[in-house]
Structure 1
Amino acid sequence: MKTLKWFIAVCFIAVTLSAFVAGKKARISIAIADTTGFKVDTLAHDLVVPWQLVFLPDNSLLFTERNGKLRIFRNGKLVDRPAFVIPDIPQRNKTGLLGLVLHPDFIHNRLVYMANDYWQGTKMRLQIVRYEFRNDTLIKPLVIRDNIHANQNHTGCRLVFGPDKKLYITTGDADEAILAQDLKALNGKILRFNDDGTIPADNPFINNDTARKEIWTYGHRNPQGLVFQPGTNTLFESEHGPTGGDEINIIKKGMNYGWPIIHHQLTKEGMLTPLAEFTPSIGPSEAMFYKGDRFPQLKGKLLVACMRGEGILILTLNSDKIVGQEIIFKEKFGRIRSLITGPDGYIYMSTTNVDPAEGKPRPGDDLILRLRPSGTENTLFSSQKI
């Protein structure tokens, strides 16, 4: 297909990025893929770190900005007035309004979940709150979990619902590495809840009096991508490592992923090593499996938004092994934070260049962008207020 010739004509140029792929016991280069088959549309600009993008059933795009605003993009334009604002939100290096997810039955119950930092006296804390989305705003807040230790970095905060309709939440170590191994702390973990904030009876530490029962896995440094693979329901995670050592992991119930005891290619009995480890750092953020029809060569591939790597990493999987990897739009748009397939099958992403200290804003930053095959019509699907 001519519109997808970029994927066939991969430009195998040596690059500084490389990855250690488990099972291959070798470090392999990440090829830079030709993107001439892509057309890029700028949908919104002059934003402040659009952290998470989600689509509503009416095809509107709902997204968080790190400065505390929940925004709506509808019918081809950004709605001027924010849908919701969290006042006095802490904005340090990476704190503020972060993860966002819709309930699996949103069309009937209108439930939305958001993660944000807040002040508890002079201390920074993290909370996850459930709201109802009515008349383009949020009402009836219900705290799912609060008082999670927070710092200006390593916040995690990707929220996803699994095929089991349970809520999965990533948390970073809040710059206190040892918390990731502390089963009495919620930091450096993947947490799992029922949709009302109660704890599922089949969580791995439910009968352990020395552990927090919300914990699904532990030993994480700063996990910012979390996605279930269609068909297999395997849970994949992307995670920031120290001085390189960024990871792609397969998440297994109750397991220890090692931080800070092991990282990079270190191993230790009872701890899991990553499916892939990237040095130098790529700064992996949101991960997704492409499920649309516009880019058939991407079907079933794992796409990872890269911040320090400034591009979209495309991983080809064979069962639980990575057998191919390319990166697209390398250093084209800067740091990429959120990545999602739209109802139209196109790919939507947000930049995160307003982030201190690594971010270097360009004119118009931050952006929401749409990727479509070259030669397709430049139209946006219509939507109506719900």
Structure 2
Amino acid sequence: MNADTATDWTDRMLELRVGPVAHGGHCVARDGDGGRVVFVRHALPGELVRAVVTDDPGGAFCRADAVAVLEASPDRVEPACPWAGPGGCGGCDFQHTDHATQRALKTTVLREQLERLGAGAAVVATADLAAVEVEELPGGPLGWRTRVRLAVDDDGVPGLRAHRSHDVCEIGDCPLVPAGALPPVLERRFRPDSELDVTVVGDGAARVGSGATVHAADRTWELSAGTFWQVHPALPDTLASVVRDWADAPTGGVAWDLYGGVGLLGSVLAGQVGESGTVLVVESAASAVADGASALANLPQVQFVRGRAEREISRLGPDPDVVVTDPPRAGLGKAAVRDLAARAPQRIVHIACDPAALARDLSLFAAAGYRTAALRAFDAFPMTHHMEAAALLERIPR
């Protein structure tokens, strides 16, 4: 490291030619001739920008916000949200480009992560990685979010967090939430330094700390306050359809739904194994287990197991024919993949909300004797860098 990179660059203004998109909602640039890597938010590949360094952890890289665009990409648009730019709300990454370009950027990231983290070969062996696209979900890029967590500042004013910060950004609305739902909540005052779970219910009203009635997989689910449910209204049925197409659980067989929440995907497996089969839904949250058991009370083949899935894999019985996994953002990891492969299911439908974690897990599964037979990804979080992906893994005969 040279003397200049040893200096804290925070608040330094840089003129940068922006390079490719990277995982995390930013693009990569370099300062000077082969200088430090700068991760630039609010920019697009190919643009020339002035960027202010917002965070310098030292070493080979720093983070910056593009505050002026000197040469704009043809894909740049005016953000739909006035609070989404530099120094504002940190919830959105791609307000400054159109929806199709957002999906293209996410597709680039997904393919790059699969290749870079070693899973690319496992995917390319059975499917053309170049054909993998982040697919659009119904509803468009705005007004899709049915749940949002607000932070409350020292004065009791609710808002959203700034990027990589605990600071609360005061907002007048959020265009990702159905129109008209959020302002009545934002006008109220709450206990300082608290957080609010806001749910947009069927009549379009936003309620704080409230449960909800939702519909998916041909069922109605009564959710308690705080019980997890996907925030994009089209995603539950989309994932249910993927499981229905890929799982192929045999009649009378055994299926596991790990990190199963209220058993949405377990209900699909139940229809495949029938009343003579068994579906074990493993979930650690008590409210989800209670809500799921109530919703699926008419399916005697479904049993809920409350516990951490990674700890239960080696203890569950009998061995499964098919497994659905939907772990947290960090993915399954080495131990869970090892223990799951040891139970030798014929098929695993693996769902991931982080492309890097997906790539790592697919690589681990490949080493454990599974091939990636299919892969799909969905733009379940428009305007952000996040996506949802699903992979079908098949056991390689030995």
Q: Same fold (TM over 0.5)?
A: no
TM-score (norm. length: structure 1):
0.30
Larger radius of gyration: 2
Normalised by the size of structure 2, how large is the TM-score? 0.29
